[in-house]
Structure 1
Amino acid sequence: MFKVLLFIISFFMLPITSQAFTKVQSIEGITEYRLTNGLQVLFITDASKPSMTVNMTYRVGSRHEQYGQTGMAHLLEHLVFRGTKDYPDVLQQFSQKGLSANGTTSFDRTNYYASFAADETTLEWYLRWQADTMQHLAISEEDLKKEVDIVLNERDRSQNNPMQVLFERIKATAYQWNNAGIAIIGAPDNLKNMKATDLQAFYHHYYQPDNATLIIAGLIDEEKTIALVDHIFSPIAKPTRQLIERTTQEPVQDGERNIILRQVGNMPFVGVAYRIPSAASPDYTALDMAVNILTDRPSGQLYRTLVQDKKLATNISGFTHTLHDSALAFFGAQLSEGQAVNDSQDALNHIIEHIAEHPFTEAELNRVRTYWLNQWQKLYANTEQLSIGLSEAIAAGDWRLFFLERDYVKASTLAQVQEVASKYFIPSNRTSGQYIPTETISRAPKIEPVDLSKLFEHYKGDNHTVTTEAFDPSPDNIQAKTLRQDLVLNNGVIHYALLPKSSRGNRVYANYRIKFSNLDNLSGQATLSGFAASLITSGTDTLSQQDIQDKIDTLNGSLSYHISANQLVVSLSTTEEHLTELLGFSLDLIQKASYPQKELTNFLAQVKRAIQVNSTEPAAKAAYQINRYLSRFDKNDFRYVQSFEEQLATINTINREKLLSFNRKNFAAGDIDISIVGTFNPDAVLDTLKQKIGTWKKAPEYTYITDPYGEYPAKSFTLQTPDKPNAIFLGRLLLPVQNTDKDFPALLVANHLLGGSEASRLFKSVRADKGLSYSIYSGINASAFEPSAEWTIQAIYSPEKKAEITQTIQQTMADIQQHGFTQEELDSGIASIMNMRALSRTQDNVLSATWLRYLENGRDFNWNKQFEERIKALTLDEVNAAAKKYLKFEQMSTAYAGDFEMKK
């Protein structure tokens, strides 16, 4: 009683910033305020990156919809971006102001977020838009009809993936009463018959301050921001309507449920789901640990048994799907053609439901807990992702669940994990793709709602604060702060760009490339080189694949290898204290990779399956057809574009001896670039590089592999992909342009105005005006080394809209060729490009990648600054001239892939 009284007293003694604005609490760098109209406000300050993120989360999702009105929450999210009377064409304004913005809808919430380079004027504008959206959205029947067509196209896209469809079916079968069984995107008939008046009523009921949480994060002055939020949102009246929580608790499942899905193409897949408590329950976290233990690769029981030992699957997966009222634990197994579906399903179910036969170990729990906590720490250290990620905790019931779930993970015990898995992973609580009769049925425990007010009555979280120093992301400051020199060794040269700076969570990002050999020496080895890179983490003579992953997790890091032409590119991230160890470990792995036969066999099976799946996908088929046509290289040339059949044949020639030989010959010293950005000690990094690379042998001398421009007559391909309800349009034109050319800045801006943003001509004509596509864009990519560029247009659409979308693109391009862009478009486009480039310079991982690119092509941020000055100095005549000279749709080769014979 005494503790409760102290809590009440301390609560009411919190300072009140204004009559409408009250401070509630602060937990681990997040401060909560409440306005008298009910709006919850969270502040997350981070001075290390001069950017801001604003996230407005409404506690309304598809579970709040009524019968016959499914898809309403998601459709409303789309219509919000149509704008209001005072904020028309809001997507265009986002682009002009350099906002990286979006919205998402789930079962329990809808959120709208934007990140931008720190600027108080932009912050005020975006907050005013949010406040206006909360009050003045007017939905017209015309806009509703357009957006319904776009949402239907979005739905069709999801139907191309059988695994995604299977999960939808399993979920729908697992929930008989709760709306969680209904797809968020809604039923097609409900969408087509939606009335604007009904959607307007839904909006007015839920888009209110007492049903919303506003999160502001980044480089903010909290006192000024409080005043700004107070000024903008406090005038919104507290709602008089009562929010009624119509929760339908799902009864305890009383027997196995199953579904069968049949579609054309792709490989077999089996899945199984079990209903479990919501994220507020300690049982949920223990079950999440159990799922991670079972599906861990390569040491998890499912992977070892189904993939490695019994060869009943080529890959496995698993995750927990969190909802406000309950959750799902989902497991899946990918099969290759000829693998027995029933045998795989039986084995999958048996392992999950007979954990007592193969009990979990402390080592397994510690492994998945370490990985989970590392991922949590990375999210917490990234202010932008944290501010957006908190929407999920809010949707589950309370933003503090983000921290409480971490506490549950830390406190989880082996006995607890084993016990809850045995309680919930039982046959009568199973929904799968196969029916398996049983003689006796045991029931899962009833899922009780959690009393959140009692749960958090005395919760304070960890008592620590995160402090970071401000950083100026201007090109001049980046150039001045970066240490850029050459480290000359006896066996070669290391070119480096090191930018030490303060970062949230002391995170640091590193990228390096090892250059090797030349075009002639690499004949016929493109696939081999890619596999030699991807499989570096598969094992050494002393470390298994699991040992390597455990080491990376222990170092709170991430590590990846891939091939780019004749370069081995390595990316890693960790914290300051672990950087030199992880960097050294990454270099050791390159030299010591042994490509164990077991891991190689599994990898090849997974790649084969992926190729077989892609061979039926519209996007993959279209890309192959265009790339193959626009390529003149011989079959053994490193740049040759292989067919799906040729890819499979090449894989059959790969063996361990070839991988070892390629690695030892090419992944060596000589010509190396490295860039690092974040909190670290440059001297320690250079010492590590000297120690590790100084003893390496030299790689074959590196020569840049060219990708020369070639002229190809325009050609159109129509590719049939049966039973795929979503189609793809892909157009590509090669151009004799280098990114150092005089015309390139104008061409870059012209493409941006054409299809590079939500304010572009293609977006407006194809999506906004006619509702033909959920996603359409154009891009320009030009080499820094030679006059070779490609201009691309891509869109998804419903197959029956093929002629209409083609005609709309043609008309848009014809108008640009005839009339050009306007001065207003140019001014807005240049402002948008400048703002987005400024935002990108606030991201440490982007800075590291940019410096690595500059090391290769001999540039720096002085060049970056000069390039931006060239963009800002462009005239309308220059941009229109570039568009007319280069962006000629009639010269573009195109591919249309989809089920154009589908019977609706």
Structure 2
Amino acid sequence: MSLIPRRLPLAVFLAVQMLMPAAEAAGKTEAVVPKAEAEAGGFASYRLANGFKIILAPFPSAASVRVELLVKTGSKQEGYGETGMAHLLEHMLFKSAGPRADLKRDLTALGATWNGTTSTDRTNYFEVVAAEPEKVDEVLRLEADRFIRASFTKAHLASEMTVVRNELERNDTDPGSVVMRALQRQSYFWHGYGRPTIGARSDIEDAPFEALQAFHRKHYRPDNAALIVTGNFDAQRVLALASRLFAEARNPAEPKPATWTREEPRAVINRSELFLPAGTTIAASGWKLPGMRDRSLYAFDLGVSAICAQDWGSLRKDLVLERKLAVSAQCRTQIQPDYSLLVGSASAGKDADAEALGRALREHLETAARQGISQEQLERARQAELNGYERLASNHESVASLLSRAEVAGDWRLFFWQRDRARDVTLDEVNAALRKWVVPTNRADVLLRHGDKPEVPASSAAPSAQELVAGGNWPALAQASDPIPASAAELAKASVPVPLPSEMAKAVLIPRKTQGALAWISLNNDYGNTQAFTGRRVACNFGSSLLAYGGAGLNRDQLDAKLEALQAQWSLSLGEITLEVPRKNAEAALDILLAVWAKPSLPQNEFERMKAASIARLEAALKDPASVASSQVALRFDNYPDEHPNQPWSLERQLAAVRAATYEQARQCVADLHGVGRLRLAAVGDFTPADVQAVWGKVAQLPKSPVPYERIREEAAPAAVDTAPIVVSMPAKPNASVVGQALLPITDDSPDFPALRIAAKVLGGDADSRIWQRLREKEGLAYGAGVSLAGRSFDPRSSFRLQASAASPQAEAALASLKAELARALKDGFSEQEVERAKRTWLEERKTGLRNEKGFVGVLSAGLENGHDYAWIAQYDAQISRLSAADVTAVFRKYLQGAPLVWSVGRGE
């Protein structure tokens, strides 16, 4: 039963009204009384006098809170010369605001995960923090400062413009992005959806600062914005504070900008041909559809789900598995407020016939739509859709995104109305919608075709959002669960070792009532040894992946259908079985997976599909300077015996090995190694130790691996390395990747490792680090820049990596800045202030990460292998809390001073 009374939102509203006079009498603030606007599913919305909306969606069992500032303006509202301005403004609003010099720095200090995104219809800013009232209060204050007191400058624009331009250049060299933006332009004659959000280079580079300010004043107004808060929070406290903070916002004298442009139905097929040295071939088509408030869209979407499902839909079977025209094929409904789009795409190797590929894609989708789907297919697609909605009870962050999308379409309660449509649309509605919209004269693939009175589908005016949700009565979405442990120490106490009658098996359990009554099971099977894998890594990787494609009399379609009916998400290979499923279905789902694992079918057509996809991926990588440079760097650190399973290979060698791999080799690898080796069993959910032992009882009946398990040992980091710089240049690549790579003789169990971790964080670990602040914020050289440290648990071969992504002409400047920051750190060390900031941020991020219930089972399983369980994590963090600047500096110099460091640049010529 839910902990949220159905009338809670009204109670919150009345409580806030009672608080306001007291606050006013105390002289703290002028009384601000929000108007209760709507309730649904345990959620509620309120409206301030200035038009600002506050939407509260409490999830009392959650461990975190998500706060979103939603501005209902995106690229759709941009005018001539303003393309990309909504997105550019999103970047600007992470700069200064009111008393805040750097919003990203303030968010990082709170341990928040944060971001901002821009779409055609809206811009949003959101962050997730631990469910602590003081942190939630501070985030509300920060968002109010961002919305009301943004103070971005010309200097900010000059710095960030190059970052946004760098993002544009990255998109311009990504084949998928280029294709999708072209399809977007071809699909709309007049509507703003035809303008990609990133904008035109000329507008990004040349738009005056005053124009950006004017765009901000025009659109960032309280009657065009909303605050959405989800998770575990005090609704009374949040509503009172948010109302007071955002009531200060004022609307300009001009009325709120409106949009009225509509698409005219016309018989036309638009076509665009693109040429790009991408190493791959892609075909895509789009069919224009009605917007989010049209009931038929949801019938259409279920039909598309049946045709396009990756595991059981007909599109992939036809193009990839049977005719082998493509290495991948997919389609989906892109649901948007004004107009939606059916997008179909297929990709193949660089030498594929693009005309044939596109023709096959279009013909399949139009034929499938004309023929319609069966009731059985509809129910399977419907079940998958409803499974997704049911999982939202334990994922308030995803609910927030969907509420935001619905609010932009007119009313956040459309979220519930849409869910109802998934339940009640009929087969006749589905097939009528498919036949109406998926026709050649409604397609973007520029050719004008003559036709006598062609049929052109036209959508009628959609009802208002308020009409659709009027009278809706939805039960509370959130459900009760056990409180999330607040620390690693608490999780360590909650972890229960489960004794098993085997030296080759270990088990551990966290018994708890989870959000959404879900359960997680991880069966990790450590198998094989160095000798068994030597010379056959490619074949064994293919063989291991094939286990997921059926067995025990079930093909992949049937396997998926059974597990979808049980609402399961899963993975299956020689080395693991992972399962997320409602607790009530856990035993049934696990039995299916164990049976398939024991008797896999290893279909040859899936092997051929995987092989073709790998070849296409490697051929594309050979055309990418960053990938080639990265491969060359890895070879510099190769001190393994030849054919060792972990030996780095060049891209050319990888491609040759994949081309040479055969189905028989993959099948033989499974035959040689299949079976239980050393088992690690972890579970989270409403289980008892006896339940876990019962799982082991089933696993113990499985065949044993004929090869004894022995961990594949890494070579220690080499002391001598060729450190000559690597530069890879290729034509038509405006974006560069700059990397400095070192392998260090240390494991993550070393007493020195926590200090090295904090050194990496200060130098380049987050948005307040030295490298980010210099390359991104001050110099505007890089879209992304920082340091990563990847520790190895058993062998001293940990990776330390400095990196930046920059425009190709700025590659040398970015390289110089990275080198300068490394040299400064080695020479001057780190200050106490920097180290204390990094320690606080690390511990706050850890606190947030530890509250991710879904991640518990992975930590438990890893801990059974390397000892890094929650008790180890608690001890590790305690070590970090005791570090001084002198400790961090000394360890950093110990491992990086004189360490062989290979610098590489992959860029355009």
TM-score, shorter chain, exceeding 0.5: yes
| Corresponding residue for residue 493 of structure 1 | 504
1:503: Cα distance to partner? 2.4
| Aligned mate of 1:691, from 692, 698, 721 | 698
Q: What fraction of aligned residue pairs are identical, expressed as a percent?
A: 24
1:551: Cα distance to partner? 1.9
| Aligned mate of 1:840, from 833, 843, 849 | 849
| Corresponding residue for residue 291 of structure 1 | 304
| Corresponding residue for residue 5 of structure 1 | none
Is structure 2 residue 192 aligned with structure 1 residue 199?
A: no
| Corresponding residue for residue 727 of structure 2 | 718
Cα 1:587/1:245, change in 2 over 3 Å:
same
Is structure 2 residue 554 aligned with structure 1 residue 543?
A: yes
Runs of at least 5 residues in structure 2 that lack an aligned partner in the other structure: 1-8, 18-31
Is structure 2 residue 67 aligned with structure 1 residue 60?
A: no
Contact 1:294 1:300 in 2 (8 A): yes
| Aligned mate of 2:839, from 830, 833, 836 | 830
Query: In 2, Cα distance between the equivalents of 1:272 and 1:214?
Result: 36
Q: Which moved more, 1:736-745 or 1:336-345?
A: 336-345
| Aligned mate of 1:242, from 245, 255, 265 | 255
| Aligned mate of 1:521, from 482, 507, 532 | 532
Query: In 2, Cα distance between the equivalents of 1:295 and 1:696?
Result: 37
Query: In 2, Cα distance between the equivalents of 1:654 and 1:371?
Result: 36
Contact 1:471 1:501 in 2 (8 A): no
| Corresponding residue for residue 644 of structure 1 | 651
| Corresponding residue for residue 232 of structure 1 | 245
| Corresponding residue for residue 172 of structure 1 | 185
Is structure 2 residue 561 aligned with structure 1 residue 555?
A: no
Cα 1:437/1:600, change in 2 over 3 Å:
farther
Cα 1:433/1:896, change in 2 over 3 Å:
farther
Query: In 1, Cα distance between the equivalents of 2:845 and 2:208?
Result: 37
Contact 1:342 1:434 in 2 (8 A): no
Contact 1:556 1:574 in 2 (8 A): yes
Contact 1:276 1:447 in 2 (8 A): no
| Corresponding residue for residue 386 of structure 1 | 399
Name the aligned partner's letter for residue 389 of structure 2.
W
1:729: Cα distance to partner? 1.5
| Corresponding residue for residue 595 of structure 1 | 602
Name the aligned partner's letter for residue 39 of structure 1.
F
| Corresponding residue for residue 34 of structure 1 | 47
Cα 1:628/1:394, change in 2 over 3 Å:
farther
| Corresponding residue for residue 25 of structure 2 | none
Query: In 1, Cα distance between the equivalents of 2:434 and 2:370?
Result: 13
Cα 1:671/1:524, change in 2 over 3 Å:
same
Q: Alignment partner of 1:486: what SS?
A: coil
| Corresponding residue for residue 709 of structure 1 | 717
| Corresponding residue for residue 483 of structure 1 | 496
Name the aligned partner's letter for residue 190 of structure 1.
D
Is structure 2 residue 580 aligned with structure 1 residue 569?
A: no
Is structure 2 residue 12 aligned with structure 1 residue 17?
A: no
Runs of at least 5 residues in structure 1 that lack an aligned partner in the other structure: 1-9
Q: Which moved more, 1:282-291 or 1:167-176?
A: 282-291
| Corresponding residue for residue 512 of structure 1 | 523
1:463: Cα distance to partner? 5.9
Cα 1:44/1:795, change in 2 over 3 Å:
same
Is structure 2 residue 690 aligned with structure 1 residue 677?
A: no
Cα 1:446/1:216, change in 2 over 3 Å:
closer
Is structure 2 residue 750 aligned with structure 1 residue 751?
A: no
Query: In 2, Cα distance between the equivalents of 1:139 and 1:425?
Result: 46
1:596: Cα distance to partner? 1.3
Cα 1:651/1:436, change in 2 over 3 Å:
farther
Q: Which moved more, 1:198-207 or 1:323-332?
A: 198-207
1:439: Cα distance to partner? 6.5
Is structure 2 residue 595 aligned with structure 1 residue 613?
A: no
Query: In 2, Cα distance between the equivalents of 1:255 and 1:630?
Result: 57
Contact 2:324 2:609 in 1 (8 A): no
Contact 2:534 2:643 in 1 (8 A): yes
Is structure 2 residue 819 aligned with structure 1 residue 820?
A: no
Q: Which moved more, 1:525-534 or 1:93-102?
A: 525-534
1:280: Cα distance to partner? 1.6
Query: In 2, Cα distance between the equivalents of 1:358 and 1:603?
Result: 30
Query: In 1, Cα distance between the equivalents of 2:358 and 2:841?
Result: 51
1:139: Cα distance to partner? 2.5
- Residue deviations 1:496-524, cap 9 Å, x none? 12112232211223323101121122211
Q: Alignment partner of 2:504: what SS?
A: strand
* Aligned 1:290-689 pairs, distance under 5 A: 290-355=303-368, 358-432=371-445, 441-462=454-475, 466-489=479-502, 493-540=504-551, 542-561=553-572, 568-689=575-696
Query: In 2, Cα distance between the equivalents of 1:337 and 1:203?
Result: 44
Q: Which moved more, 1:503-512 or 1:189-198?
A: 503-512
Query: In 2, Cα distance between the equivalents of 1:639 and 1:393?
Result: 48
Cα 1:648/1:249, change in 2 over 3 Å:
same
Query: In 2, Cα distance between the equivalents of 1:518 and 1:306?
Result: 38
Query: In 2, Cα distance between the equivalents of 1:495 and 1:388?
Result: 39
Q: Alignment partner of 1:256: what SS?
A: strand
Cα 1:193/1:888, change in 2 over 3 Å:
farther
Is structure 2 residue 105 aligned with structure 1 residue 98?
A: no
- Residue deviations 1:24-79, cap 9 Å, x none? 33322322222233222222222333222111211111111111111111111101
Name the aligned partner's letter for residue 749 of structure 2.
T
- Residue deviations 1:350-382, cap 9 Å, x none? 222234664311222222222222223334421
- Residue deviations 1:708-763, cap 9 Å, x none? 22121323211123322222122210111122222211110000011110000000
Contact 2:92 2:156 in 1 (8 A): yes
1:342: Cα distance to partner? 1.9
| Aligned mate of 2:875, from 866, 870, 877 | 866
Query: In 2, Cα distance between the equivalents of 1:146 and 1:486?
Result: 59
Query: In 2, Cα distance between the equivalents of 1:356 and 1:455?
Result: 27
Is structure 2 residue 210 aligned with structure 1 residue 189?
A: no
1:869: Cα distance to partner? 1.1
Query: In 2, Cα distance between the equivalents of 1:150 and 1:398?
Result: 34
1:695: Cα distance to partner? 4.1
| Corresponding residue for residue 4 of structure 2 | none
Please give the TM-score of this superposition, normalised by the length of structure 2.
Answer: 0.93
1:576: Cα distance to partner? 1.2
* Aligned 1:799-814 pairs, distance under 5 A: 799-814=808-823
| Aligned mate of 1:117, from 124, 130, 133 | 130
Provide the aligned length of Structure 1 versus Structure 2: 885
CA RMSD of aligned residues (A): 2.4
Contact 2:175 2:278 in 1 (8 A): no
Cα 1:238/1:800, change in 2 over 3 Å:
closer
Q: Alignment partner of 2:60: what SS?
A: coil
Q: Alignment partner of 2:499: what SS?
A: strand
Query: In 2, Cα distance between the equivalents of 1:270 and 1:464?
Result: 40
Contact 1:270 1:341 in 2 (8 A): yes
Q: Which moved more, 1:195-204 or 1:353-362?
A: 353-362
| Aligned mate of 1:778, from 766, 787, 790 | 787
1:851: Cα distance to partner? 1.6
Q: Which moved more, 1:17-26 or 1:208-217?
A: 17-26
- Residue deviations 1:400-451, cap 9 Å, x none? 2222222111112222111111111111111008887766632121352431
Q: Which moved more, 1:139-148 or 1:500-509?
A: 500-509
